[in-house]
Structure 1
């Protein structure tokens, strides 16, 4: 259970918002019981609600304008059985009596029981709001935000245990548009709300993923800072392809002028519209319509979705016609990048490694943690165009040193999550993958198997109980199915595969003495695949020059990188961890778009 350190019988207000964070109440070992009687201010969003009539005494409540006789008063104090007998004796004499001017069911006061969550923890606080405090219809809709003041007490809900907040004053209500709000229904699957990334974290599971992601980021900085690494901010825009063979996003201001002049956008709203993006949007909108039809949603939401889909289809028709016209009239001219913003070609980085190496050559142990961009058109559940990478460089370190560091770092992450976010892991284990916690514990408690690439190929070639889609032979890049088989079936624990053929690794990896392999390694985790890739970098100037030629790279772009080898070169090594893939492993989610707050992938840029 996630608990708040330094527990006592008092709860403190948040320093910057004058409210009590719910984790400080519900994250305690006693779940807040020792805080009963304290006055607090809490804020959050309504996850669910329940209304019921307020409990009243046995006597019937009547309008003060109605005059009751002695018999009516006596009847109100009798049991139902005697009350019926009296009515037969004195009320059935044929003389009509004035009927009381009230409707008990309509006029009885109502109480709302809300489950309110502020995002600080998995648990929600029970909040009781009387109709005399606030209009019940305003506070009960799912998604409503409230800021409320009241007293913590033992829950008054029949058959329930724990504590609740009895609200005495509502300080703020953020109402919800009932028709438009896409998360109004409970139990919506993650795929049905991916079109609303701005509302995505309201989903309980997504909120847990966000907290786990935050904890992994904190653990990353904690690990490296505690081991003497310096955090370095590396550039997002670069002139160099760090991988030597990557699909990169080009950064330029030249084409914006051309677009304004040619006006290829038939919509006329000032935005460039791509046909492939629109087609991807049509696919997504069609899925949304099907989901609304399948879940029997309200007619207004379905009608709006159908109208949106129709607009997208019409736009696609316009764009197809425009592309055909452009294909007949387009004249391709050589671009003069000397007139561009940076005076030459520039790209969004696919890796910060090369820049990080320059700092390792002066500061010894460095790391960075930031976004990278890959123009990969894959739409698989494990690919993004924008993702985050943890990268480090160790000076005076060889392959074995950096493999040891990578193993320790991965174990540290898993241990940290187990200790810091147990409630979120329990939720993930319940809703996403029942083996999540066991897998994390396994990484922490077991040593990693280490085998060479050659040993891995020889082992896989002997497999008879499985047919691989990709033929296994020495010299190929190991496919995901090969790596998974090693970790899941053969060793049943994390595996470090090292010394790969030089043809399947980047130009900067150090060439081994055999002339055929390089000092690179991958860490493969059961049920997750490869989480870390690393290598010893080539520190020899003649060798790195040769590798640049073999890859057919423009040498002039790497002159600054070669300077690192010319001036005080040292043996150095490093690795990178795909942060979203680590989040997927830690939570058990099966789609990478749910591992990052605002996913960007081919054909998808929602906000």
Structure 2
């Protein structure tokens, strides 16, 4: 598995320095990764003509050198009596500056950090008046196309563009250019190659006043309001590529070990815990007149006020990004506070009015779309078991939904899980699978996403590479829940909000103490109390614990859960009753025990929690493209 685990993408990267440029599949452009992630960083491609496309990350403009200054006018000195052999040059200060303009321009260019500012265009340049031709500029763009953490410098002559300079240079502008790769002219350039554009094939402009991204590094929590734009940032782009690599690594590992991929339903009739109900009945009403939204006497509805709060919050973010004066920001914050106060008053009045909540038991689900009550699935392992009972080893990868009203840095309403089921296996087999799978993922991203991990270690967590390397090469310690409680009880210098006693669920602070302070690395905790895990987990011989485990990592918590499932019909039937679950919903599941039952075990990996561990991100909402959490679903 060592050699097989290395991505074919890495093998391709190793060969790039020996191969000619290849076009992006299904496109006539070249991906920047093909140019910039070669072993020679593209130096061997100088002179090649290519088409590239991407979005502007930064830009600057340099005015072309002015024509030579006019000859110096020599004026006879009054004291010389007209003898030109003894004349001196009577030159004005402005003429001296004009004659040395190129020197001054370079001097100020150095002082301004290489000219990384927009040029100041006069009104005639921007208005496009034909009275005087606009001066010519050379534009320098850093372009990113998302294929690599690196960007390519593209040099564009202003004569190639029909788009106004201020629009062409705006952050986020999409540019497709054809040109020739060359060595950078500046000796101090950090990049190895750049593209000298010969044609601009496409320019997709942005509105700088409304485009939410800026040159400044915005905090990740602010980017969540613009989840449709945030992948254009370097950090989110790198995290997304690591996410993609983890997904491919999961398929690679499981397929190599003989697992068959199975698609399980998102809409289900079975499940447990807080679940999202799926119904088409709530939009139907027998009332002939629709109720109008409640309004206060001043005409404001709660929805209108909430919309105003959102808009004013965006205004404050814009003012902070645009370096507006402090008075404007303070005034905007005060205005937002007053609007929040109004919203609180309206909500209090609304809560005091009698509600019209429709209870689910009053709905006739026989008239619903599916003819019965249905839910968004919280686990795919139930359905996987039916296929494991026929194919041996199976897995799936898909969204899982939990309707817990929790809003913290480790919880989402929608998460994507990799789940497996294995026939003819027990708890130790499942723990072995989780151990090897987890370490394979750590090693995989280090080998196949080296550039992204290098960037993430600089931008997000400086210790992430060392931690992943140590994890990939170590053996994960395993101990029981009972041993974990004993360790926690011995922590006399540490006070926990939830007292560690046998039978209580291990909380975040308990797990953090075990992984961050005692063992300083990932561990596997197994054999939990019988009521601490779902009903389908196999009851151990001591009748007090069940065959379940959690793989817990520092700073994150549980990344993989797993269990051996109860294969004995009588005990499974009793456990369903013990948990107070409607038996009729699980008749099909009990059928698997009635007919050809077999010992089975499986695991479930949360991809978002794995990504938190792999990147060091502090909040799970930044580990998924479009986060869904309690009170938040932006698009």
The answer to whether TM tops 0.5 is yes
Structural RMSD (CA): 3.4
| Residues 30-65 of structure 1: CA deviation (Å, up to 9, x unaligned) | 1100000000000000000111122467x33xxxxx
Partner of 1:587: 615
Number of residues of Structure 1 aligned to a counterpart in Structure 2: 569
Match of 1:210 in 2: 240
Q: Give the gaps of 5 or more residues in structure 2.
A: 1-8, 75-83, 93-97, 106-121, 123-133, 296-300
Tell me the equivalent position of 1:472.
500
C-alpha distance 317-477 of structure 1, shift in aligned 2 (>3 A)? same
Q: Does 1:601 align with 2:611?
A: no
Secondary structure class of the residue paired with 2:584:
helix
Aligned to 2:22: 12
Q: CA deviation at 1:465?
A: 2.3
The Cα shift of 1:261 comes to 5.8
TM-score by length of 1: 0.86
Is 2:144 aligned against 1:117? yes
Q: CA deviation at 1:137?
A: 2.7
Answering whether residue 293 of structure 2 is matched by residue 266 of structure 1, we say yes
Alpha-carbon contact 2:309-2:340 (below 8 Å) kept = no
1:87 Cα deviation from its structure 2 partner: 14
Aligned to 1:507: 535
Indicate which of 506, 513, 527 corresponds to 1:485.
Answer: 513
Report the more deviating stretch, 535-544 or 320-329: 320-329
Q: Is the 8 A contact 1:152 1:163 kept in 2?
A: yes
Structure 1: distance between partners of 2:234 and 2:86:
58
2:306 touches 2:343 (CA, 8 Å); kept in 1? no
Name which of structure 1's ranges 582-591 and 4-13 shifts more when overlaid on structure 2. 4-13
- The equivalences for 1:360-509 within 5 A come to 360-509=388-537
Alpha-carbon distance in 2 for matches of 1:219, 1:521: 23
Partner of 2:210: helix, strand, or coil? coil
Q: Which moved more, 1:328-337 or 1:382-391?
A: 328-337
- Matched-pair contact (CA < 8 Å) for 1:280–1:603: no
Task: Give how far 1:433 is off.
Answer: 1.1
8 Å contact kept, 1:452–1:497 = yes
Q: Bigger shift: 440-449 or 284-293?
A: 284-293
Q: 2:228 aligns to what?
A: 198
Deviation at 1:263, TM superposition (A): 3.8
Asked whether the 8 Å contact 1:280–1:604 carries over to 2, the reply is no
Given that residues 48 and 114 in structure 1 are in contact (C-alpha distance below 8 angstroms), is that contact kept between their aligned partners in structure 2? yes
Question: Within 2, Cα distance between the matches of 1:261 and 1:316?
Answer: 32
State how far apart, in whole Å, the 1-side matches of 2:305 and 2:393 are. 46
Mark the CA change 1:258 to 1:365 in structure 2 (over 3 Å): closer, same or farther.
Answer: same
In the aligned structure 1, how far is the partner of 2:360 from the partner of 2:19? 74
Q: Deviations over 1:477-509 (max 9, x none)?
A: 111111121122222222111111101111000
Q: 1:330 to 1:31 in 2, by over 3 A?
A: closer
Residues 330 and 23 of structure 1: CA distance in aligned 2, closer, same or farther (over 3 Å): closer
Q: Is the 8 A contact 1:289 1:305 kept in 2?
A: no
Going from structure 1 to structure 2, the CA distance change for 1:605 and 1:342 (only over 3 Å counts) comes to same
| Residues 531 and 171 of structure 1: CA distance in aligned 2, closer, same or farther (over 3 Å) | same
Between the aligned partners of 1:209 and 1:13, the Cα distance in structure 2 is 25
Structure 2 residue 549 is the aligned partner of structure 1 residue 526: no
Say whether residues 1:553 and 2:581 are aligned partners: yes
Q: Deviations over 1:79-109 (max 9, x none)?
A: xxxxxxx999487699xxxxx9xx9998652
- Cα distance in structure 1, aligned partners of 2:30 and 2:458: 28
With the length of structure 2 as denominator, give the TM-score of the two structures.
0.82
Larger mean Cα displacement after TM superposition, 131-140 or 587-596: 131-140
Give ranges in structure 1 of 5+ residues lacking alignment.
Answer: 61-71, 77-85, 95-99, 269-273
Residue by residue, what CA displacement relative to the aligned partner does 1:135-188 show, whole Å, maximum 9, x if unpaired? Answer: 533321110000000000011235214111001100000001010011033211
> For 1:210-267, what per-residue CA distance to the aligned partner results, in whole angstroms no more than 9, with x for missing partners?
10100000001111111110111000111111xx3x1111111111113986745629
- SS of equivalent residue, structure 2 residue 14: coil
Offset at residue 284 of structure 1 (A): 6.3
5 Å-filtered alignment, 1:301-380, equals 324-327=352-355, 334-380=362-408
